Chains A and B, each alone.
Chain A
Amino acid sequence: MKYAIELVGITKRFARTVANDNVTLSVSAGSIHALVGENGAGKTTLMETLYGIYQPDSGKIRIHDTEVAIKSPQDSIRQGIGMVHQHFMLVPTLSVLENIILGAEDTRNAFLDLAKTSERITALADKFSLSVPLNEKVQDLGVGIQQRVEILKALYRKADILILDEPTAVLTPQESTRLFGILSELKQQGKTIVLITHKLNEVMEISDRVSVMRKGKIVGEMDTPTTSPQEIAELMVGRPVLLRVEKSKANTGKPVLSISNLSYVDRRGVEILKNVNFSVASGEILGIAGVEGNGQTQLVECITGLVKPTSGTISLNGVNLVGFPVKRVFDSGLAHVPEDRLKRGLVVDFTVKENLILGLHTRQEFNSRLSMRRSAIEQNARMLIKKYDVRPDDPDAIARGLSGGNQQKVIIARELSRNAQLIVASQPTRGVDIGGTEFIHRSIISERDKGKAVLLISADLTEVLSLSDRIAVIYDGMIVKIFPDNKVEESELGLFMTGTKGNGREASLA
């Protein structure tokens, strides 16, 4: 068998952690190789070491049977390696074209030769069906398109080995399908692909072989057709995992959140939410399914008081929240797990214990008016870290240094510790590994069983279907359908999510 990549005995230490511990990994040329593992297992570090961002403390790298020294991304680019990073590496204020050529520019008489380059890129884009608007600024584009820009960027540098780090974490189901089409096409043309992902159905669907990492080591490697999601999950976590969510029937009480005739027009005058009506009762989870960008973000912002709706009411236990300042909204009995954990969920340069009291910091138990009660804050952190299994179990760790999954656990821990009547959870498990996801799902269900009302917003259909007691579908700012239970086919949901069905269109289709 011919290998495109051979990593032999790679070890990479950071100040406190051994991210890769004597890792050996071989990837056959022309195959799609999946790399899976829990948050913090060391997948990104391994691939970034291959890409030259980090220097391994020991170990060898062979590319196409030749041992190579990769001291910087420049070296790996020269070896034909391209990487699409977990957090995109694009310059938002530059155009798509500028981003693609950056670092590999063609010039004519000292000036950038944009005409010739656009032709080359257009040809490349056509070959792999990667259409992108070359002259628009990256900051104006959605994540799906940004990702295509990243792939083109690698192909433009003549990459024949392509590493994708959690490419579908930020994509809608439709965009993911499209991405997989592109990856198959790339494989057809002889490229080698390494795919890091947390979604086992993706591993099963597209990969030829899969390697499992745990705590910096490779703990298993098998041909995809010979394995099962269950086996992979167990290897990853080191114990049997429930891939299915187990929950009892909802014990529904009276409505906690009632939204009526809610509309929101944004600053540019675009109508984002159109006459939204629904309610969530105590003891139930209402899931909102929808393709991202159909008003979910603004719906949550209206409920949490971050923006003021144009009309309509949002009542929590009978009190209309509209017009309340954010603090009063939360004090009325709301907890919020925001969709963007780095922007709204955490102060990334604060410690874990500080993050665990954000928004609760004015409570008497943590604040004696004159100063913060440090021992209470410390104790609170120790208790929550233990209860939610946050790793490392260090109240003084800086939030920035935690893996994505553990950052998310900190947010969940804080929000659930508010003991609020209503929990609004947006994308609660995005980028979180299987073990963490299982844990977060169980926490949400146990809150429901305590009689809390839960509003769940997720782009992950599997999550919506498995957690929700009822499912509402949002499309173009409208709630187009509310299913009274979660016994609905994904394909059926998809039709409502894309606007093919719903709002009277059912009749015409039937």
Chain B
Amino acid sequence: MFTHLFRLIWNKKKQNALLITEMFISFIVMFAIFTVVVFCYKNYRQPMGFVYEDVWSVNFTPPENITNADSVAIFHEALKNTLRSMPQITELSFSGNNIPFSMNTSNTAVSYGKHKKVMANVYNAGEDYLKVLNMKMKSGRWITKADAVSKNRIIVINSRLESELFDGQSAVGKTLGDDFPGLDQQNASQLHIVGVVENIKDKGSYQEIESGMYHPIDTGWARWTGTILLKVKPGTDATFESKLFKTLSNTIGTNIEIEHLDKKLISKNKIMVVPMIIAGVVAGFLIINVALGLFGVLWYNINKRRGEIGLRRAVGATGNSVSNQLVGEALVLATISLLLGCFFAFQFPLLNVFDLASGTYIAAIVLSVIFIYVLVTLCALYPGKQAAAIYPAVALHEE
């Protein structure tokens, strides 16, 4: 029966080419959609790796009159003491402006051994940064106050960067080279790793975890540092926020901005989710369109073939075998389209087109294949059932 189906389809290759093309395009569209969905879902399944609830960020413009290293240090110390004196604040740390869920990024290329120019996010972090965000060390230690003034440039890297650069070995104690622009050349290739911290999903719930490294806020950077992360007690309210605002305005000056990390996460996620919803709606319409098209073509084919169906019934086909044959034909056509589609789809992981994990593509391919088969089966089932119900005499009579 199978070879019979093939022969029938082969002899009608011209009529079937259109249907195959339609299924092929549907597959490609679904493959694109599923790739994004699988990518986001995989990221979503990753733990955040830190606690962002009850974490506030304070952004300020560093006062212009404080310029030399000593006065900056004094200013920072005073600011810290003021904040620490508030019982609602349990932890605090200075930070670069690329705090979790912000729109800012800062990155660089680092190299180790045969791994050249690997991109990594660069975070400037104070000694209590780890505690404010409740991040976890994997090995080694976190940045200390002494690191900021150390002759060696000290860094802590995240677990993702460790696995990318060190092939399963521990990174602690190793030295990295980098091309950090603007650094004096003698230090440029001297990044001493003292610790590895667990990954955090600081770009949003659906974003991929990226490689990252944490620098202490050394004297060179301190002057430009304008962000503080605060951990407050649960339930701390707007009353305290306005008090905090006033206090900071008195200490620092104008341009104070206080944000809550949980709210920043929501708006950050929207950036990812809104286009996905739009794409989903568009894809939904496309699928309905394709389904109607498939349904229409199959319906038309079956009506055009009533004589054939009647004849098959006359020579011994049951209603079910007629309907199975029609569904089977549609599935054979789908298989041809899918083989074609898979050939294209597999180029993505093979050529590493978008730098996604090949598992993501393969999951997307599998999902698209299942989707198309289900869609085709559903579209063929009803016309098939209709065909099965045709009385052989009636079908034969019509020709």
Query: Do A and B belong to a common assembly?
Result: no
Chain A positions near chain B (C-beta within 8 angstroms): none
